A and B are shown apart, each in its own frame.
Chain A
Amino acid sequence: LPPQFHNLQELRQSPSLATKVFIQRDYSEGTVCRFQTKFPSELGSRIERMLFEDTVKTLNTYYAEAEKVGGQSYMEGCLACATAYFIFLCMETRYEKVLKKISGYIQEQNEKIYAPRGLLLTDPVERGMRVIEVSVFEDRGSSGSSPSSNVSSGISQR
């Protein structure tokens, strides 16, 4: 009995997606990429407000940096023109570099903060930078599926 249930239990342990929360873009300052920092109420029971807002604010900072029109972007443009845009075959644009940083940041945040809480952030660039998708996973521990919880408690005692 134990091995069978154990395997099944492990199978059932992988959490299923309960819902997705979408953080929309904040267009109050134009078409600059910014996401709303307002804390969605669906996440109220899953994550602390400050953590979430920090994440979004950091993302906004990254995007602002990517879209900044300054010396580096100007030089990049000139170089591209001078090389008839062949430079794009070799070099990554500034925006892409920042996007990589963002991707790493999101990965890190997921590992450290969101996954332990049963949430996952999706990189907005996969959605065309329109939304930040937060996947909310079903919390098995509190879902009250009694057989599994009983079995797991039984197993854990061993």
Chain B
Amino acid sequence: MPGFSSGGLGEEVGGPAFSPPCPFRPSRYVPVSAATTFLVGSTTLFFCFTSPWLSEHVSSVIPIYNAVVFLFTLANFCMATFMDPGVFPRAEEDEDKEDDFRAPLYKTVEVKGIQVRMKWCSSCRFYRPPRCSHCSVCDNCVEDFDHHCPWVNNCIGRRNYRHFFLFLLSLTIHIMGVFGFGLLYILQHQHQLDSVHSSVTMATMCTAGLFFIPVAGLTGFHMVLVARGRTTNEQVTGKFRGGVNPFTNGCLRNVSHVLCSSQAPRYVGRWRGKQTVEVQPPFLRPPLAEAQLEAKVLDNGIQNDHHSTRSKSSLEQMESQSADAEPPPPPKPEVRYPGLPRADTEESSLLSEGPSTPSMYMYRPAYSSPQRNHTALTHPNKMIRGDSLDSPSILQSSRQPSYRSEPSSLDGGSVIGFAARGGERGEGPGGSSGTGGVVAGGISGYSLGGRSYTSYPSSLVLSTGGSHSSSMRSAHTHHNTLGTLQSEGTTDTSYKSLANQTPQNGSLSYDSLLTPSESPEFESAAHELSPQKPHAPATFPPAITSSPPPGVRDVPLQGYTSPFLSAQMAQQREGQLLQGSASFSSPNRAYLRAVSPPPPNPPHAAHPETQHHLLHQDSRHPHLRATSSIRPLPPVSEQPSPSSPHACSPDPPVSPPPRGRSLGKSPSYTGEAGLQLKARPMGGGSLSGGGGIGVTQAQQSTCRPGLANHSTSKPVGGVKKVTGVGGTTYKISV
């Protein structure tokens, strides 16, 4: 990250509760200096030249009134400028023990029934809470990020939004006052217009008049935002256009929250009390309940004998292929994965809250050394030993879904080929095109260059631009574009990007596993796998009924929103899963409808079918929420087979992942954002919310015949062959 040096193997020095220093850039201080100069200078001139006469001949209240307003303006200006906007401290290392290689870029949470996507911040090392955004100028994640205001040279966030808003209000009033009283003076001194006092008053009036229009426009804009409970970031990126804002509590409550709530605390630079509590063994232990014992047994990794043979066979195949390519993994990761789903990281526990296990992971930047990548790559093999395809579901029961599916998702080319996401870090440059939203004329003050609107706009733009919408966290330093994906055919781009980083390991083994001829239906297969819960019905998250209804296979999707879907996966998803699955059962139909438009490239015939499926699903499973269309791929438990009934066309499915939109994501909050960006030049997906879903309608349509048999009825007791990204084919038990 700019301005913050990382030590060692790319691992950032987390540091205790501090934000990294910004480099000194004099150009940053020009707007704020100008603003200060104009404000203080004009007011001073007003007080010196205009007020005396007014206080004598009109009223003595006038200077007092103007002084009060000016002081109020200045106080709010200073608070907006100098107050910490709500910066999150960098996450400490132990919060992020999860292997970067296998971690998803996005996680979904549900806010008041609406899916909201939380993105992994690679500089701050945590998943950004809702409404949080990373400011590239300040290089910090800011809570309730509004925008970065150059006029105060500070981010506007949760803590100082009120001050910023009051500053705008008071400045508008102050300008009106200065202009009005100046006009009064001039009107009374028309015969003395050439005097110094008159000229100064006229100059002050000109300045005031000049600034009045943008400031008043901005004030009006923010009054609307406050009333609607939106941030500038959300408004400009069009997140809620045509949809529902989950963060609003009604106009009155929104206003009172902005104006009357208590000052939020700062997180950075806090005084940390000494930890005086001593921890000494022996420790008390609670009596183990039967259920806990059972859960522990389950957690040991022998999930489902039913599938174990299949798992093992495919696993052995993979292991043999990978074993010689890689050195044995270091012991540490094995300790971390003793068969127990590891939930000692922040993300895993976060994942566990979501009901579903992602079947597809976008990969975080491989900050770690190559060794870690070894671990990441070989580990899944070990992890999935004995794992069934239903492992994610079992994870659910043990309440740690994420870790099961993560390693499995890596297996055998399950790594999804996401175009490396460039510019994720700063997210500044990407944001430039993200600001096409409706903005009042007074917005000139905002750095619409895009730097202030961070992950959402930039990611959205990237996805819509069709070039960089990878959800790979790991890929943020690379700019593998769609073109890369396309050129590689079925080869997983993520492997390439990872290979770019760690060429000596990992990718080799995976490349060896990939069969170019096979179509990348893997994700969808895996996707199906995760929801499959005939053997572990209880594992669904509470929102899902205990026994999944027939054909429902998408329940675990809830937990993750991977914006990036490979083509096949999305097509599989729509074709098979969606019809029966609850993935689209977003409570917000508007999202579904809004999301329906197909990308321009593929045949539009696919669109109505998809829509039909969407609505069909929605009606069938209203209680299930639509989640990301990307699911972590379950472990490679099936033997890859050369023929896949769903191998529509080997090449295209993988190709435009970044642009694809995922219908599954439609109900999500981010999907809506993607929808908003439809107007922008987008390669294919019109719905992708920044994540670049790999599937386009084209693939779906092309694979429709293959999926037809699945779409109609729940496959009974069968094994479906799906091909993952990179060509590995898996059999999925249904």
8 Å CB contact of A41 from B112, B263, B343: B343
Residues of B contacting A: mostly: loop
Which residues of the partner chain B approach A116 to less than 8 Å between Cβ atoms?
Answer: 283-284
Given contacts A40-B343, A120-B275, contact A125 B267 (CB under 8 A): yes
| Shortest CB distance B209–A (Å) | 27
A88 at the interface (CB under 8 A from B): yes
Residues of A contacting B: mostly: mixed
Most buried by B among A26, A44, A99, A136: A44
Interface residues of A in 125-143 (CB under 8 A from B): 125-131, 133, 136-137, 139-142
- Encoded as 1 (CB less than 8 Å from any A CB) or 0, chain B from 144 to 173 comes to 100000000000000000100010000000
Given contacts A31-B130, A120-B277, A131-B95, contact A38 B399 (CB under 8 A): yes
Which residues of the partner chain B approach A136 to less than 8 Å between Cβ atoms?
Answer: 344
Task: Report whether A69 and B257 are in contact in the complex, using a CB–CB cutoff of 8 Å.
Answer: yes
CB-CB nearest in chain B for A96: B265
| Shortest CB distance A57–B (Å) | 16
CB-CB nearest in chain A for B127: A130
Task: Report whether B111 and A88 are in contact in the complex, using a CB–CB cutoff of 8 Å.
Answer: no
B295 at the interface (CB under 8 A from A): yes
Which residues of the partner chain B approach A45 to less than 8 Å between Cβ atoms?
Answer: 285-286, 288, 292
Given contacts A23-B349, A120-B275, contact A77 B286 (CB under 8 A): no
Question: CA of A69 to CA of B79 in the docked complex: distance in angstroms?
Answer: 21
Given contacts A20-B344, A25-B129, A45-B286, contact A107 B277 (CB under 8 A): yes
Most buried by A among B89, B91, B111, B285: B285
8 Å CB contact of A140 from B144, B259, B282: B282
Which residues of the partner chain A approach B272 to less than 8 Å between Cβ atoms?
Answer: 126
B515 at the interface (CB under 8 A from A): no
CB-CB nearest in chain A for B249: A30
- Encoded as 1 (CB less than 8 Å from any B CB) or 0, chain A from 12 to 55 comes to 01110001111111111111000010101110111110000000
Question: CA of A30 to CA of B71 in the docked complex: distance in angstroms?
Answer: 35
Task: Report whether A24 and B349 are in contact in the complex, using a CB–CB cutoff of 8 Å.
Answer: yes
Question: CA of A85 to CA of B72 in the docked complex: distance in angstroms?
Answer: 9
Question: CA of A48 to CA of B344 in the docked complex: distance in angstroms?
Answer: 18
Interface residues of A in 54-85 (CB under 8 A from B): 66-69, 72-74, 76-77, 80-81, 84-85
Question: CA of A15 to CA of B109 in the docked complex: distance in angstroms?
Answer: 36
A95 at the interface (CB under 8 A from B): yes
B278 at the interface (CB under 8 A from A): yes
CB-CB nearest in chain B for A136: B344
**Number of residues in A with C-beta < 8 Å to the partner?**
70
Which residues of the partner chain B approach A69 to less than 8 Å between Cβ atoms?
Answer: 253, 256-257, 260-262
Task: Report whether B281 and A140 are in contact in the complex, using a CB–CB cutoff of 8 Å.
Answer: yes
Given contacts A21-B344, A25-B129, contact A118 B279 (CB under 8 A): yes
Most buried by A among B94, B260, B349: B349
8 Å CB contact of A95 from B75, B89, B247, B263: B263
B270 at the interface (CB under 8 A from A): yes
8 Å CB contact of A128 from B249, B267, B295, B343: B267
Which residues of the partner chain A approach B89 to less than 8 Å between Cβ atoms?
Answer: 126-128
8 Å CB contact of A131 from B74, B162, B278, B346: B346
Question: CA of A66 to CA of B264 in the docked complex: distance in angstroms?
Answer: 9
CB-CB nearest in chain B for A111: B277
Given contacts A69-B260, A93-B262, A95-B263, contact A118 B398 (CB under 8 A): no
Given contacts A25-B129, A41-B400, A127-B95, contact A117 B263 (CB under 8 A): no
B280 at the interface (CB under 8 A from A): yes
Listed A/B pairs (24) with beta-carbon separation below 8 Å? A13-B280, A15-B280, A20-B94, A20-B344, A22-B95, A27-B109, A27-B110, A30-B130, A30-B247, A38-B353, A38-B399, A46-B286, A69-B257, A76-B262, A81-B166, A93-B262, A94-B262, A115-B280, A116-B284, A118-B281, A118-B283, A127-B267, A128-B88, A139-B285
B-to-A contact residues, CB < 8 Å: 16-17, 71-72, 74-75, 79, 88-89, 91-92, 94-95, 109-112, 116, 126, 129-131, 143-144, 162, 166, 246-247, 249, 253, 256-257, 259-265, 267, 270, 272-273, 275-286, 288, 292, 295, 299, 343-346, 349-350, 352-353, 398-400
Q: A27-B109, A84-B71, A127-B92 are in contact. List 10 more A-B contacts (CB 8 A).
A: A15-B280, A22-B345, A24-B353, A31-B247, A41-B398, A67-B261, A107-B276, A115-B278, A117-B285, A125-B270
